[in-house]
Amino acid sequence: MDTVRLRESWNTVAGFGGQVPLFFYSTLFLTNPPIREMFPAGMSAQRDKLLSALGRVVAHVDELDAAVPFLQQLGRDHRKFAVTADHYPAVGQALLATLKHFLSENWTAELAADWTAAYTLVADVMKAAAQEAAQHTPPWWNAEVVRHERRTVDVAVLTVRTDRPLHYAAGQSVAVETQLRPRMWRYYSPTNVARDDGLLELHVRMVDGGVVSTALVQGIQLGDVLRVGAPVGGSLTVDHERDILLIAGGTGLAPFKALLGQIANEQLRREVHLFVGARCMRDLYDMPAIEAFERAIPGLRVIPVLSEDKEANVPHGLVSEVALRYGPWPAQEVYVCGSPAMVAATRDTLRAAGMGDHRVHYEDFQGYGGPTSATGFLQGDKEYPV
């Protein structure tokens, strides 16, 4: 398989922009009408998600070893869409038809063979992981809403109870769907460690144009049943004993609250600093719970930071910049979570301050195709469905 040729051909096709997903989905749905039912009625949000994710993964197939855990999660997570092994050939055929169409005279028998081999590798990893998961877990968990608190105009804290235990690591995310918005899945990070009774707390901010987050904040009723997908993500999990610096922007606090739950149960003594960034006082929507952790964890220090309002005794500025001012952080593992813009800006700030990328952790959902890895993932209520 010539991976350079694969990548070059993908770059050429990607240059056709929005026409590519249009052609891909038309081909997929025309040749396999039942697959249309698996996607939401409105396709605009995810038009390019599946395809760009597939393209990225397949074109980097020479790094497949590194991508295997991600592809396995993807395979398991896709069970919630009712994707079965039978669907993979249809997607592969639509992908090949799309490449052929846009590469026209540059589409050769060799390229067709390379793309077929690459897609087969990716699909095999995903299918095997899905099949293995099917032995012991459902395609999704039903989760009844048992508590719904509006903490601010646009932030709700939901507590749901899954119908069977859901095992995940603190810092991972799960996809959530409400029947108010069928087939539109959004990722949220449970804010508690996994519990035997299946209780999960989720933090949801209503975002502009976010139809799912609006439904979860404003439309949901106690007793409603959400669907929850298999856990994904591994960048914000902690499996070491080093000191930690956590930098949260807004509801990006969610996975870190779960980490505090994990750390509170450790026998270990380590230093943990948590910077909680918000625009104004009322956006610090969960401080009593976070301060309770501060009392329970001897090495934990929590520093709220306001970027818009100025309040006495509360540091002012972007959370990343304030966190740097409190340094130096010579050996801490650094975890960053917030909006994509906040994560990108924080990474730049830390890099400019000389902090090596190797100890800065953030969830890369593009790479998934969602928060920056390979298939239409997301964080919070960003539009990253597959």
Ligand X SMILES: NC(=O)C1=CN([C@@H]2O[C@H](COP(=O)(O)OP(=O)(O)OC[C@H]3O[C@@H](n4cnc5c(N)ncnc54)[C@H](O)[C@@H]3O)[C@@H](O)[C@H]2O)C=CC1
Stretch in the footprint of ligand X (CB under 6 A) among 4-12, 17-25, 127-135, 197-205 = 197-205
Of 159, 178, 307, 372, which lies in the binding site for ligand X, with binding defined by CB under 6 A?
A: 307
Can you tell me the distance from the alpha carbon of 112 to that of 93, in angstroms, rounded to the nearest whole number?
Answer: 11
Q: Which is closer to ligand X, CB of 143 or CB of 278?
A: 278
Can you tell me the distance from the alpha carbon of 78 to that of 91, in angstroms, rounded to the nearest whole number?
Answer: 13
Regarding 251 and contact with ligand X (CB under 6 A), the answer is: yes
How many angstroms separate the Cα of 358 from the Cα of each of 64, 202, 229, 354?
Answer: 21, 29, 30, 12
Start-end of H helices in 33-137: 33-36, 49-59, 64-77, 87-103, 109-134
Q: Which of residues 76-115 bind ligand X (CB under 6 A)?
A: none
Q: Which is closer to ligand X, CB of 55 or CB of 277?
A: 277
- Which are the contacts of 207, defined by CB distance < 8 A and separation ≥ 6? 154, 213, 380, 381, 382
Of 226, 232, 260, 319, which lies in the binding site for ligand X, with binding defined by CB under 6 A?
A: 319
Q: Which is closer to ligand X, CB of 139 or CB of 255?
A: 255
Of 198, 229, 233, 277, which lies in the binding site for ligand X, with binding defined by CB under 6 A?
A: 277
Regarding 178 and contact with ligand X (CB under 6 A), the answer is: no
- Tokens 């855990």 belong to 69
Can you tell me the distance from the alpha carbon of 200 to that of 163, in angstroms, rounded to the nearest whole number?
Answer: 11
Regarding 304 and contact with ligand X (CB under 6 A), the answer is: no
Regarding 213 and contact with ligand X (CB under 6 A), the answer is: no
Of 249, 261, 369, 385, which lies in the binding site for ligand X, with binding defined by CB under 6 A?
A: 249
From the list 178, 200, 85, the residue with the least C-alpha distance to 133 is 85
Q: Which is closer to ligand X, CB of 63 or CB of 308?
A: 308
**Both tokens of residue 328?**
């130096």
Can you tell me the distance from the alpha carbon of 20 to that of 51, in angstroms, rounded to the nearest whole number?
Answer: 8
From the list 240, 236, 234, the residue with the least C-alpha distance to 68 is 234
Regarding 257 and contact with ligand X (CB under 6 A), the answer is: no
CB 364, CB 371: distance < 8 Å:
yes
From the list 161, 152, 246, 244, the residue with the least C-alpha distance to 197 is 161
Regarding 244 and contact with ligand X (CB under 6 A), the answer is: no
Stretch in the footprint of ligand X (CB under 6 A) among 13-21, 119-127, 203-211, 326-334 = 203-211
Stretch in the footprint of ligand X (CB under 6 A) among 20-28, 57-65, 86-94, 198-206 = 198-206
Of 232, 342, 355, 360, which lies in the binding site for ligand X, with binding defined by CB under 6 A?
A: 342
Regarding 189 and contact with ligand X (CB under 6 A), the answer is: yes
Of 92, 171, 250, 385, which lies in the binding site for ligand X, with binding defined by CB under 6 A?
A: 250
Of 147, 150, 279, 325, which lies in the binding site for ligand X, with binding defined by CB under 6 A?
A: 279
Give the bridge partners for 162, in sequence order: 143
Q: Which is closer to ligand X, CB of 50 or CB of 350?
A: 350
Of 81, 188, 335, 362, which lies in the binding site for ligand X, with binding defined by CB under 6 A?
A: 188
Q: Which segments within 112-206 are labelled E, that is strand?
A: 141-150, 155-162, 174-177, 186-188, 199-205
Regarding 142 and contact with ligand X (CB under 6 A), the answer is: no
Q: Which is closer to ligand X, CB of 77 or CB of 114?
A: 77
SS3 283: helix
Binding site for ligand X (CB under 6 A): 188-189, 203-205, 249-252, 254-255, 277-279, 283, 307, 318-320, 337-339, 341-342, 345, 379-380, 382
